[in-house]
């Protein structure tokens, strides 16, 4: 179990806790809290003592046991949750995780492996159960066989891994049911109760299913399989609608059955290590924050590229396209984190308040600032690569973009006039995700003549490579050693695999753990979602109404040339095409 608390400091540096220790010594509160700490102090990703409140409520609970009232129905949800969390320690508590859509691709590829990794890292509570739920008929054993194929051990920690896998699999069970059947969820509830054995239960539902059945499942889970004693939370996978209207409708429907604080809208890019590090880099290093504005930054680029097509997911993809699949969520979320003002604290609401301000400050996205593309078939040597429209699940003549580039602007004092460029594409020449920050020219540069006419090539560029091979590097101009005065471009390079020889956790591990711990910072709040859709919906409607034909690009190429013209319009060169990268 990950623990946040510094043993020596718990009571001495928190005045209130010291007070309680004395006040409740008759209940052996110290022992109680130490025990609670051991079992409940899971550390969330913001590194804060999340359960400090719970410990406080432990004291309140004891006060309650001594005759004062406990949180009632009028309390804030978090307060109830905290009191319940605390009371659970008396009777023992358990966590039940139900993966709805357990037979699907995401569940097998990401969710079960993330749960195993958390178990292996001792991040799950001692008492937990995992249930798979889907329509496919499977026995517990068949589910275990299915998921065992995708569980992996950490490269750097192999010891006891096989045993741990077996132990984990023994905690996994399956129930086959329909997504809209309250009766089936009632049976699931009784199966969960059997495993929970009368303990206080916290329940997490992961909706790894197509979006058209989100609401059915939220309804059935909420009405028939909610925990009666602990918290119930629901992780919802994207897509959260396909425009403002459908997203608003989805939010309203979900909120018929769930409170906002129970809904965890996942954007797995927010769980990526380098996206987490973006704020650390900026706010904890004096050298970056003063440069973080229009005064020093010429443009910022958010680049996503995959070297494979929609293989197998064409049916889903054709209804969404690359703008909805990648830009409206992953890239825009990173942009918001990048551009936000310093939040009041690292608390979820403070960070999300700042992000939403960025999203609301975006200038409308004009069609003239967007280019779209679609990959076409291509032969290379003896190998042939299919066109997007060769996918049998894609309608012939589809105009759905598999590539898009956009120039966005923010209407605020910090970023006025700075182009924020996004580029996302499938079936390109490489698999990569990066944030690139290109700085302005050095005014009155003494070494100007050493760069020749191409001053652009000599600007500093900060690159955060999110994947693969995580790295942060800064392109600088440097004197080539020797008697002459020759400059070249070099990198100050932080290559993660050299500096941190441990395996980086998958984004899903961090996010599932945060959901278990009630840490909402990396999940999308409904107002963020509304603002993100408000930005993209008019553009998407215009593209569809005007039936804009995407520019074709060969499978495995660098994408349509239109992207260069778009960047050039703002005097920008795409950083990933400069050919001098580490």
Ligand X SMILES: O=C1O[C@H](COP(=O)(O)O)[C@@H](O)[C@H](O)[C@H]1O
Give the residue numbers annotated as catalytic, written as ranges: 330
Identify any residues that bridge with 494 across adjacent strands, giving them in sequence order: 472
Q: How far apart are CA 88 and CA 100, in angstroms?
A: 26
- Closest contact distance (angstroms) between CB of 71 and ligand X is 38
Sign of CA dihedral 345, 346, 349, 354: positive
Return the number of the residue (203 or 330) whose C-beta is nearest ligand NDP: 330
Q: From ligand NDP, ligand X, none, which one binds at residue 134 (CB under 5 to 8 Å depending on kind)?
A: ligand NDP
User: 367 near 542, Cβ under 8 Å?
Assistant: yes
Identify any residues that bridge with 96 across adjacent strands, giving them in sequence order: 129, 203
Return the number of the residue (238 or 265) whose C-beta is nearest ligand NDP: 238
Among 237, 434, 509, 576, interactor with ligand NDP by CB under 6 A:
237
- Exposed, middle or buried, 92 (CB in 10 Å: 0-12/13-18/19+)? middle
Among 213, 291, 442, 474, interactor with ligand NDP by CB under 6 A:
213
Asked if 210 touches ligand NDP (CB under 6 A), the answer is: yes
Return the number of the residue (107 or 407) whose C-beta is nearest ligand NDP: 107
Q: Which residue number is nearest to ligand X in terms of Cβ?
A: 325
Asked if 208 touches ligand NDP (CB under 6 A), the answer is: yes
Q: How far apart are CA 193 and CA 437, in angstroms?
A: 52
Q: b/e per residue, 499-537, with b = 16+ CB within 10 A? A: eeeeeebbbbbbbbbbbbbbbbbbbbbbbbbbbbbbbbb
Return the number of the residue (105 or 122) whose C-beta is nearest ligand NDP: 105
- Closest contact distance (angstroms) between CB of 40 and ligand X is 31
Among 465, 467, 464, smallest CA distance to 288 is for 464
Residues 266-295 that bind ligand X (CB under 6 A): 268
Tokens of 408: 């966005």
Distance of CA 435 to the CA centre of its chain: 16
Q: From ligand X, ligand NDP, none, which one binds at residue 325 (CB under 5 to 8 Å depending on kind)?
A: ligand X
Asked if 135 touches ligand NDP (CB under 6 A), the answer is: yes
Asked if 325 touches ligand X (CB under 6 A), the answer is: yes
- Closest contact distance (angstroms) between CB of 581 and ligand X is 18
Q: From ligand X, ligand NDP, none, which one binds at residue 518 (CB under 5 to 8 Å depending on kind)?
A: none
Q: What are phi and psi of 97, to 5 degrees?
A: -115, 120
- Closest contact distance (angstroms) between CB of 557 and ligand NDP is 24
Q: Of 143-151, 234-242, 273-281, 375-383, which segment contacts ligand NDP by CB under 6 A?
A: 234-242
Residues 314-333 that bind ligand NDP (CB under 6 A): 316
- Closest contact distance (angstroms) between CB of 318 and ligand NDP is 13
Q: Which residues contact 579 (CB under 8 A, 6 or more apart)?
A: none
Q: How far apart are CA 521 and CA 507, in angstroms?
A: 14
| DSSP one-letter string for 245-311 | HHHHHHHHHHHHHS-GGGEEEE-GGGGSHHHHHHHHHHHS-TTTGGG-STTTEEEEEEEEE-SS--T
Q: How far apart are CA 536 and CA 476, in angstroms?
A: 36
Residues 166-185 that bind ligand NDP (CB under 6 A): 179
Peptide bond into 468 cis (omega under 30): yes
DSSP state of 56: H
Return the number of the residue (467 or 477) whose C-beta is nearest ligand X: 467
Among 82, 59, 46, smallest CA distance to 10 is for 59
Tokens of 425: 């594409």
Rg, C-alpha atoms of the chain: 26
Q: From ligand NDP, ligand X, none, which one binds at residue 136 (CB under 5 to 8 Å depending on kind)?
A: ligand NDP
- Closest contact distance (angstroms) between CB of 250 and ligand X is 17
Q: Of 10-18, 88-96, 195-203, 235-243, which segment contacts ligand NDP by CB under 6 A?
A: 235-243
Return the number of the residue (115 or 138) whose C-beta is nearest ligand X: 115
Tokens of 229: 């004693």
Return the number of the residue (407 or 433) whose C-beta is nearest ligand X: 433
Residues 394-453 that bind ligand X (CB under 6 A): 433
Q: Of 191-199, 208-216, 525-533, 547-555, which segment contacts ligand NDP by CB under 6 A?
A: 208-216
Residues 103-122 that bind ligand NDP (CB under 6 A): 103-107
- Exposed, middle or buried, 140 (CB in 10 Å: 0-12/13-18/19+)? middle
- Closest contact distance (angstroms) between CB of 207 and ligand X is 15
Return the number of the residue (217 or 410) whose C-beta is nearest ligand NDP: 217
Secondary element (H or E) of residue 566: helix 562-569
Residues 443-482 that bind ligand NDP (CB under 6 A): none
- Closest contact distance (angstroms) between CB of 241 and ligand NDP is 12
HSE-up (13 A, CA, CB side) for residue 285: 10
Asked if 560 touches ligand NDP (CB under 6 A), the answer is: no
- Closest contact distance (angstroms) between CB of 452 and ligand X is 38
**Residue ranges binding ligand X (CB under 6 A):** 268, 306, 325, 433
Interface contacts to ligand NDP, rule CB under 6 A: 101, 103-107, 134-136, 179, 208-211, 213, 237-239, 316
């Amino acid at each position: 179990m990950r623990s946040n608390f510094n043993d020596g400091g718990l009571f001495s540096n928190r005045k209130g806790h010291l007070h309680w220790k004395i006040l409740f010594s008759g209940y052996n509160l110290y022992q109680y809290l130490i025990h609670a700490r051991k079992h409940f102090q899971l550390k969330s990703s913001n590194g804060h003592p999340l359960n400090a409140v719970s410990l406080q409520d432990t004291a309140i609970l004891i006060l309650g046991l001594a005759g004062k009232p406990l949180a009632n129905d009028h309390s804030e949800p978090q307060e109830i949750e905290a009191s319940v969390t605390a009371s659970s320690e008396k009777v023992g508590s358990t966590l039940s995780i139900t993966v709805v859509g357990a037979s699907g691709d995401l569940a097998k590829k990401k969710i079960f492996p993330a749960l195993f990794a958390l178990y292996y890292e001792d991040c799950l509570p001692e008492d937990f159960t995992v249930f798979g739920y889907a329509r496919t008929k499977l026995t517990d054993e068949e589910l275990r066989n299915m998921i065992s194929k995708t569980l992996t051990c950490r490269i750097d920690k192999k010891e006891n891994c096989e045993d741990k896998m077996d132990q984990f699999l023994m905690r996994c069970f399956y129930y086959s049911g329909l997504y809209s059947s309250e009766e089936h969820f009632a049976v699931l509830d009784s199966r969960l109760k059997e495993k929970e054995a009368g303990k206080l239960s916290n329940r997490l539902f992961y909706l790894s299913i197509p979006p058209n059945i989100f609401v059915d499942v939220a309804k059935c889970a909420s009405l028939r399989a909610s925990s009666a004693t602990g918290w119930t939370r629901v992780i919802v996978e994207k897509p959260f609608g396909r425009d403002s209207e459908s997203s608003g409708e989805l939010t309203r429907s979900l909120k018929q059955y769930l409170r906002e604080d129970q809904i965890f809208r996942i954007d797995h890019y927010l769980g990526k290590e380098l996206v987490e590090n973006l704020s650390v880099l900026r706010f904890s290093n004096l050298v970056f924050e003063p440069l973080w504005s229009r005064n020093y930054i010429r443009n910022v680029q958010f680049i996503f590229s995959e070297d494979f097509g929609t293989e197998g997911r064409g049916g889903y993809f054709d209804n969404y396209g690359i703008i909805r699949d990648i830009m409206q969520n992953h890239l825009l979320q990173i942009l918001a984190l990048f551009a936000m003002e310093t939040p009041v604290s690292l608390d979820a609401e403070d960070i999300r308040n700042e992000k939403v301000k960025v999203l609301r400050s975006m200038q409308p996205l004009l069609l003239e600032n967007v280019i779209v593309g679609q990959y076409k078939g291509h032969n290379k040597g003896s190998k042939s690569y299919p066109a997007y429209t060769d996918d049998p699940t894609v309608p012939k003549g589809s105009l759905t973009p598999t590539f898009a580039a956009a120039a966005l602007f923010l209407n605020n004092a910090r970023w006025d006039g700075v182009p924020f460029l996004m580029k996302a594409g499938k079936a390109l020449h490489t698999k990569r995700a990066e944030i690139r920050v290109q700085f302005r020219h050095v005014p009155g540069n003494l070494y100007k003549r050493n760069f020749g006419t191409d001053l652009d090539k000599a600007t500093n560029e900060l690159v955060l490579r999110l994947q693969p091979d995580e790295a942060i590097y800064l392109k600088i101009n440097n004197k080539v050693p020797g008697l002459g005065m020759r400059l070249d471009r070099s990198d100050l390079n932080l290559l993660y695999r050299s500096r941190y020889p441990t395996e980086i956790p998958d984004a899903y591990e961090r996010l599932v753990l945060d959901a278990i711990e009630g840490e909402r910072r990396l999940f999308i709040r409904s107002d963020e979602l509304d603002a993100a859709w408000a930005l993209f919906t008019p553009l998407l409607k215009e593209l569809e109404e005007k039936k804009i034909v995407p520019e074709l690009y060969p499978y495995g190429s660098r994408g349509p040339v239109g992207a260069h013209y778009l960047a050039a319009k703002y005097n920008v060169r795409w950083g990933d095409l400069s050919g001098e990268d580490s």
